Amino acid sequence: MASEPPLLSMSGITKSFPGVRALDGVDLDVLAGEVHCLLGQNGAGKSTLIKVLAGAHQPDTGTIRWRGEGVTLRSPIAAMRLGIATIYQELDLVEHLSVAENVHLGHEPTAAGFVVRGKAAKESTAVLLKRLGHAEIDPARLVGELSAAQQQIVSMARALSHDVRLIVMDEPSAALDPDEVDNLFRIVGDLTAAGVAVVYISHRLEEIRRIGDRVTVLKDGRAVANGLPAKSTPTREVVALMTGRNVEYVFPDRPVSPPPGEPVLKVQGLSRQGEFETLDLEVRPGEIVGLAGLVGSGRSEILETVYGARKPTAGQVLVDGRALKPGSVRAAVRAGLGLAPEERKAQALLMLESVTRNVSVSSMSRFSRGGWIDRGAELGAARAATRELSLRPDNPSVPVRTLSGGNQQKAVLARWLLRGCKVLLLDEPTRGVDVGARAELYAVIRRLADEGLAVLLVSSEVPEVLGLADRVLVLREGRVVHTAPARQLDEHRVLDLVMEGSPAS
């Protein structure tokens, strides 16, 4: 093995963008048949590195050797021809085309050079899907109709439709349920057994332990560790490399006794056809209530319906005892609700705008008279709100797109803090947030609760719900199957509940 050159060898790769050095002399060796994990916080340079590898970015300096020979990856097509396929986190599928058409996009099987042979495409797609353990996906269906997990399978089928030697997977497990993750790992195992190399990017250390062979850790555009053994390197060491310090998930202390007072948010018999049914819940000021459940259990749908972004088929939402107009976000906001949605960039942030404007957008009437904005007051209020949440950098005039995931989330929270909302609805509050920044975000959420906010939390990460919430509602297929104080539950129990629907002792 040592005599053979690595399948891929990148050395001294640098890449700068205006004002940012994204990669600063990174080396990466990938051997045929291994799972090489790429670790690093957001902004460490992982995305840039894999885009260089995919031919989407050209490095400023550095060399790339493929099976021992120097190559230039001028374009994604050039990379694809060598056998490098990339499955991006944000899937790049065409929603209005069928599965088979997506899989063969750009290299359709043709007769006479241009007539697309649809049947042949469907057949070969079916073979690929079967190989990936998802024979149930119909190659003729439109990709837009598939679930996120199924779309990922299609993306993978597309990669495999080429003669592929190296597959890059960017956080492939982020949108998957545990059993789907198992299937993913089986596929990865099959691929490596066939000699294909996998570059695997994930935030989840336990996944890396399960399937990884070697680990390269990026920090601030540099590779701080190359080719560490994935199974035996201690977690502490990996975390230390990533963050430069030793951190673990630290959840803030809960108040000793449940907060007194009347519930500020009451949800009564809320239903939405096909999503969730007859949901009842109450949240008191100062209380964090968590909803735990699998993908597809209706978690996000519940939050959005409570918030008025979706119209319920039955039931009502009461704030301070007054029923909200169903299906009206404005009524909800006026009554004191605030939502930090799951897809921050798509649903919450105005990416072209400054932090100030993102924070003030829901409270503009407070800085305006007759529609006229007092920009000084606005800036001051935004600064106060972002300071209270320790948002970095401490300058609300910077564009929100330059912030890290955790700080973007703080900007969303600051929006509702400024608005003076009473109930905060948090949907996957730490998605896309660095490990190091999570603890701080947890502390912020708890502090907001301590200051009297009612918080309704949804997360796919069970430890997060258990660690942060006071009370947990376990969801299964759109119904609450169990309610208990968080301290009486553990991860194992919750997983049993969401899988089985009943407490397995």
Partner 1 sequence: MTQPVSPPRDSSTDKVPAVQPPAWRGLMARADVRTLSLLGVLAALVLIGGITKPDEFLDTRNLQLVLTQASVIGVVTVGMTFVIVSGGIDLSVGAIVALASVWATTVATQEYGFAGILFTAVVVGVGCGLVNGVLIAYGAMVPFIATLAMLASARGLALQITDGKTQIVTVPSVLDLGERDAYVLGIPPLVLVFAVVTVIGWLVLNRTTFGRRTVAVGGNPEAARLAGIDVRRQRLYLYLLSGLCCGIAAFLLIVLSGSGQNTNGNLYELDAIAAAIIGGTLLTGGRGTITGSVLGVLIFTTITNIFALNNLQSDVQQIAKGAIIVAAVLVQRRTASTT
> Which of 174, 182, 217 lies closest to 49 in space, CA to CA?
217
Q: Which of 7, 333, 433, 456 binds partner 1 (CB under 8 A)?
A: 333
Q: Note whether 245 binds partner 1 by CB under 8 A.
A: no
If one counts every other C-beta atom within 10 angstroms of the C-beta of residue 494, the result is 23
Cis amide prior to 393 (ω within 30 degrees): yes
Residue with smaller CB distance to partner 1, 119 or 334: 334
CA gap 351, 386 in Å, rounded: 17
Q: 45 or 59: whose CB is closer to partner 1? A: 45
Q: How many angstroms separate the Cα of 71 from the Cα of each of 30, 64, 115, 253?
A: 15, 6, 33, 54
Q: How far is the CB of 170 from partner 1 (least distance, A)?
A: 11
Among 63, 395, 483, 488, binds partner 1 (CB under 8 A): 395
* Binding span for partner 1 by CB under 8 A among 40-48, 131-139, 280-288, 317-325: 40-48
Tell me: does residue 224 bind partner 1 (CB under 8 A).
Answer: no
Stretch that binds partner 1, among 39-47, 274-282, 286-294, 478-486 (CB under 8 A): 39-47
* DSSP string for 162-211: S--SEEEEESTTTT--HHHHHHHHHHHHHHHHTT-EEEEE-S-HHHHHHH
Radius of gyration of the CA atoms of the chain, in A: 24
Sole binder of partner 1 in the list 123, 138, 220, 282 (CB under 8 A): 220
Shortest distance, position 406 Cβ to partner 1, whole Å: 11
- Does 309 interact with partner 1 (rule: CB under 8 A)? yes
Binding of partner 1 by 50 (CB under 8 A): no
- β-bridge pairing 84-87 and 166-170: parallel
Task: Name the residue nearer to partner 1 (CB basis): 194 or 364.
Answer: 364
Hey, what are 477's tokens? 């297929």
Q: In this chain, which stretch among 17-25, 74-82, 173-181, 281-289 interacts with partner 1, using CB under 8 A?
A: 17-25
Instruction: Determine the Cα–Cα distance for residues 470 and 152; give it in Å rounded to an integer.
Output: 35
- Residue closer to partner 1 (CB basis): 183 or 368: 368
**Cβ–Cβ under 8 Å, residues 133 and 187:** yes
Here's the x/- map for partner 1, 360-379, by CB under 8 A: it reads as xxx-xx--x--xxx-x---x
Q: How far is CA 469 from the centre of its chain?
A: 20
Give the dihedral sign, CA 200/201/207/212: positive
Measured in residues, the chain has a length of: 505
CB 59 within 8 A of CB 43: no
Per CB under 8 A, 42 contacts partner 1: yes
Residue 180 or 427: the one with the smaller Cβ distance to partner 1 is 427
The verdict on 402 binding partner 1 (CB under 8 A) reads yes
Q: Does 249 bind partner 1 (CB under 8 A)?
A: no
Pairing of strands 222-229, 214-219: antiparallel
Is residue 243 part of the contact set for partner 1 (CB under 8 A)?
no
Q: What residues line the site for partner 1 (CB under 8 A)?
A: 17-22, 24, 42-43, 45, 47-48, 220-221, 307, 309, 329-330, 332-334, 339, 341, 346-354, 357, 360-362, 364-365, 368, 371-373, 375, 379, 383, 393, 395-399, 402-405, 415
